[in-house]
Amino acid sequence: MSQRVIADVKLRRKGPVISREGLIQWALLVIILLGWELLGRKVGTFFLAGPTQVLKAAAELIANGELGHALVDSLTGLAVGLLAASVAGIAVGYLMGWFPAVGKVLNPYVSALYVLPIQALVPVIIIWLGIGAAPRILCVFLFSVFEIIINTYTGVKNVEPTYVEVARSFGADQTQLFTKVIAPHALPFIFAGLRIGASRAVKGMVVAELMFAVTGLGGLIATYAAYYRTDAVFVVVLVLTLLGVLLNALVLYLEKRFAPWQRSPQGGIVE
């Protein structure tokens, strides 16, 4: 077989570089950007800054260091709050799912706190903790922890009893039951909760910072909104969107790494 035939066979096996769906996505993005730019030029930057104006504002915010400082400030509170929510949410959800008595006791409180509008508590949290890093971390924690608790609880509670009985019949102790039976079954539910919790954590961070209006990305939005700089506001909004996408991609990567045998459940808790 000639080298040319071999090369043709390899190209056919690899398939197209960009799928039809990918081409449609890129075409849709171009249409959205063009429409946004035309509409922005028609109504004016005061009402709607177009992509070109947003790019100029992004270069300005990066050059003067405002965007970098605000991003680092926000990421610090977000990371600490989300990490605390993940640890607490998985631990509480596991206890509720594995021990029925704990689930019966805590379930009404978790359900009540889950539907509680956390935004309404932000002014009270500021009174309690001031306007430093602590209230932002607490807001991120409260916005995300209940998603993780409920999804973990659902995953552990729905472990097939037959699997547990079989493992016990072979002499498995509590540690082996958790690592070999419960964790593999519950992991997709846990990662589903982490994905939703991460998006909620970003919202909690922004809500808290908008209330403080002095620091972080939320503070940057409040500042430039007061000056009617829609171009700068859109820069921060796009950064927040990118941050949410990256967090979601990180959780998906971890899910593929630690639970490659199945996908996240389609059910669970949704917003």
**Per-residue DSSP letters for the chain?**
--HHHHHHHHHHHH--SS-HHHHHHHHHHHHHHHHHHHHHHHH-TTT---HHHHHHHHHHHHHTTHHHHHHHHHHHHHHHHHHHHHHHHHHHHHHHHH-HHHHHHHHHHHHHHHHS-GGGGHHHHHHHHTTSHHHHHHHHHHHHHHHHHHHHHHHHHTS-HHHHHHHHHTT--HHHHIIIIIHHHHHHHHHHHHHHHHHHHHHHHHHHHHHH-SSHHHHHHHHHHHTT-HHHHHHHHHHHHHHHHHHHHHHHHHHHHH-TTSPPPS-S---
Query: How far is 56 from 18, CA to CA, in rounded Å?
Result: 30
Same-domain pairing of 28 and 90:
no
Same-domain pairing of 211 and 175:
yes
Same-domain pairing of 38 and 90:
no
- Residue 142 in any domain: the answer is yes
Same-domain pairing of 116 and 16:
no
Same-domain pairing of 84 and 106:
yes
- Residue 22 in any domain: the answer is yes
- Residue 265 in any domain: the answer is no
Same-domain pairing of 174 and 68:
yes
Same-domain pairing of 25 and 83:
no
pLDDT at 213: 59
- Residue 196 in any domain: the answer is yes
- CB contact at 8 A, 246 and 167: no
Same-domain pairing of 39 and 55:
no
Same-domain pairing of 10 and 125:
no
Same-domain pairing of 160 and 131:
yes
Domain CATH for 168: 1.10.3720.10
pLDDT at 15: 52
Same-domain pairing of 168 and 213:
yes
pLDDT at 171: 74
Burial category of 51 from C-beta neighbours within 10 Å (exposed 0-12, middle 13-18, buried 19 and up): middle
Q: What is the pLDDT along the chain (271 residues), one digit of tens a residue?
A: 455 544 454 545 555 567 888 788 888 888 988 988 888 888 877 788 888 998 999 999 999 989 999 999 899 989 999 999 999 999 999 999 888 899 999 999 998 988 888 888 888 888 888 777 888 899 999 999 999 999 999 988 888 777 777 877 777 777 777 777 888 888 889 999 999 999 999 998 888 888 765 778 888 998 888 888 889 999 999 999 999 999 999 998 988 888 776 654 444 443 4
- Residue 59 in any domain: the answer is yes
- Residue 118 in any domain: the answer is yes
- Residue 186 in any domain: the answer is yes
**The pair of three-digit structure tokens given for residue 237, joined into one six-digit string:** 């909004």
Domain count, the chain: 2
Same-domain pairing of 205 and 71:
yes
pLDDT at 235: 93
The pTM assigned to this predicted structure is 0.80
Which residue range forms the structural domain that includes residue 104? Answer: 51-258
- Residue 160 in any domain: the answer is yes
